Amino acid sequence: MELRPVKKQTLVEQVIEQIEQLIQSDSWPLGSRIPPEPELMQVFNVSRNSIREAVKSLIHVGVLEARQGDGTYVCSKSSLNAILHHQLMKADRREAAEVRFCLEREIARLATERRTDTDLEAMRRWLGLMSESFRIGDDDAYVRHDYQFHLALATATHNQLLVNLYSSIADAVRQSVDLFIKRSPQREKMACFHEELVDAIERQDGNAAQQLVRQLLELNFDISE
């Protein structure tokens, strides 16, 4: 095999990498407006052109969004998030449900085998916050806590790649839950399924956990066997 010299990163590539690190570490959280160009020039110690090229590249892949007259905002954790979100949003509803089911079913199966007491405590904590949000009618808080619950479930697999994959479809998941919680008359049933799912994981019943994931997605997407 012919070996080739390693290419040095350009200034623009270095800025892109550092911006992505800031976003992924939540120093620049989703929905936040990034600092203006003069401040970025000082932070990264590069020219205006380098900043503009880096920001333009991240806008192109869907990580940042330029809003006319308002600034540039963080709209995705990574280019992978943006691509998967775009694909899920334009996919057929049944196809999207099937993809999520494949991922979430495996997460549920592994979580039943590997969960620790700490994992169960985290899931029940988010479940309690979901219940409280539902009780007081705070739909936005419910959606946020629902995502954190499912992220805790993914964390219980102790497989970081699965956690990263689930995080990559987070925007699409939140959007589907938001649509469901604000429109569906079956919202209470969804809350019951979440509680039963944690119970199944606690007693390490993989079959029950996977079936409950199927029922949750059937509610979200109105699909059936």
Domains plus CATH for the chain?
A: 11-77 (1.10.10.10), 90-222 (1.20.120.530)
Averaged over 72-94, what is the pLDDT? 72
**pLDDT tens readout for residues 116-159:** 999 999 999 999 998 898 888 888 888 888 888 989 999 999 99
**Pairing mode, if any, of strands 71-74 and 64-67?**
antiparallel
- Looking at residue 184, its pLDDT comes to 58
Of the ranges 142-156, 159-173, 194-208, which one carries the lowest mean pLDDT score? 159-173
pTM over 0.75: no
Report residue 14 as tokens: 């270095």
Q: Can you tell me the distance from the alpha carbon of 64 to that of 57, in angstroms, rounded to the nearest whole number?
A: 9
Cα→Cα distances 148→3, 80, 166, 201, Å: 45, 20, 11, 17
Across the chain, how many H-helices and E-strands are there? 11, 2
